[in-house]
């Protein structure tokens, strides 16, 4: 059992939790909690850490056996037992459940993702909770993929991962480098682009979304860049009353995605 914070394995996990740079270098990230760890595909599960008290509880035995059992292409996984004190220090949550995993980051080829019908494109959405919620909403609304600019929050930030509620393992995603060229690429694949912005000439429920479409959601404070708005085929707005000038990014994304889903379903 590991009982020291100076242990190399403990320090490595802590670095993955705290440092985006380390996550990118290693291609790994940390998942916490019974439910989220259970969502990790066996092919991506690299290490499993259990607190002493978690490992002792009989009700936790089924999940431990499931996660450590041999799978196709992988031998049985030996969990790492950690003292409760050390686990509490290495965890990113205020009240840790006593189980966390190190997983390989899923990755996708952009060309493979452009064969669907509905996409959400984020530009500089910086709040980890918003990014995670938008990925989760993308799954719920049936979007085929999520695209993120380099200025967006790290999808593998622990807070983002928790906000996805497991969608990070089910919804494909891709970080694009520059918005203008990316929009040109979408257009070349027959994907119509709709920029959510205050300058939109039409309300989001009165626009006819094409069979293949992408919704653009911008930064929480500044909205979409000029390049994003000018490069999109349509500029669409959400009507608002009172003195409200904007909505939360995740709320805006949800409204658009469900309107697209409604139209594509013929309702």
Query: pLDDT above 90 covers what percent of the chain?
Result: 84
Tell whether the model's pLDDT for residue 129 goes beyond 90: yes
Question: Across residues 201-207, what is the average pLDDT?
Answer: 91
User: What pLDDT does residue 54 have?
Assistant: 97
E strand residue ranges, 61-191: 80-82, 99-104, 118-122, 145-149, 173-176
Tell whether the model's pLDDT for residue 177 goes beyond 80: yes
Q: Give CA–CA dist 49/205, Å, rounded.
A: 47
User: What pLDDT does residue 243 have?
Assistant: 78
Domains of the chain, by residue range, sit at 8-104, 110-264
User: What pLDDT does residue 171 have?
Assistant: 97
E strand residue ranges, the chain: 28-32, 45-51, 80-82, 99-104, 118-122, 145-149, 173-176, 192-196, 202-203, 213-217, 234-237
Question: Across residues 138-163, what is the average pLDDT?
Answer: 96
Query: pLDDT above 70 covers what percent of the chain?
Result: 100
Tell whether the model's pLDDT for residue 5 goes beyond 90: no
For 237, phi then psi, to 5°, come to: -120, 160
User: What pLDDT does residue 164 have?
Assistant: 96
Quick: pLDDT tens for 60-69: 999 999 999 9
Which CATH superfamily does the domain covering 110-264 fall into? SPOUT methyltransferase, trefoil knot domain (3.40.1280.10)
Q: Taking the model in full, what pTM does it have?
A: 0.92
Quick: pLDDT tens for 238-248: 988 887 777 88
Q: Which fold has domain 8-104?
A: 60s Ribosomal Protein L30; Chain: A; (3.30.1330)
How much is the mean pLDDT over the chain?
94
What are the beta bridge partners of residue 74? 71
User: What pLDDT does residue 253 have?
Assistant: 96
Tell whether the model's pLDDT for residue 220 goes beyond 80: yes
Quick: pLDDT tens for 36-94: 999 999 999 999 999 999 999 999 999 999 999 988 877 889 999 999 999 999 998 88
């Amino acid at each position: 059992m590991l009982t020291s914070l100076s242990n190399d394995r403990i320090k490595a996990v802590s670095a993955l939790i705290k440092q985006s740079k380390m996550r990118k270098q290693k291609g790994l990230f940390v998942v916490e909690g019974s439910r989220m760890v259970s969502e990790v595909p066996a092919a991506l599960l690299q290490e499993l850490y259990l607190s002493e008290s978690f490992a002792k509880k009989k009700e936790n035995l089924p999940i431990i056996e499931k996660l450590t059992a041999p799978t196709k292409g992988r031998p049985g996984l030996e969990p790492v037992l950690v003292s409760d004190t050390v686990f509490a220090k290495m965890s990113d949550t205020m009240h840790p459940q006593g189980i966390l995993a190190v997983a390989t980051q899923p990755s996708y080829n952009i060309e493979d993702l452009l064969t669907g019908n509905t996409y959400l494109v984020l530009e500089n959405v910086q709040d980890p909770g918003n990014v995670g919620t938008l990925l989760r909403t993308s799954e719920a609304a049936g979007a085929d993929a999520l695209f993120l600019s380099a200025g967006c929050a790290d999808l593998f930030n622990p807070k983002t991962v928790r906000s996805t509620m497991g969608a990070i393992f089910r919804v494909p995603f891709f970080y694009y480098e520059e918005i203008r060229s990316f929009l040109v690429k979408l257009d070349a694949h027959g994907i119509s682009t709709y920029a959510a912005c205050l300058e939109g000439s039409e309300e989001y429920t009165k626009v006819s979304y094409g069979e293949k479409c992408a919704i653009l959601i911008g930064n929480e404070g500044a909205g979409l860049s000029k390049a994003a708005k000018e490069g999109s085929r349509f500029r669409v707005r959400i009507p608002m009353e009172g003195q409200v000038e904007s909505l939360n990014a995740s709320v805006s994304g949800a409204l658009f995605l469900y309107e697209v889903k409604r139209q594509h379903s013929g309702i």
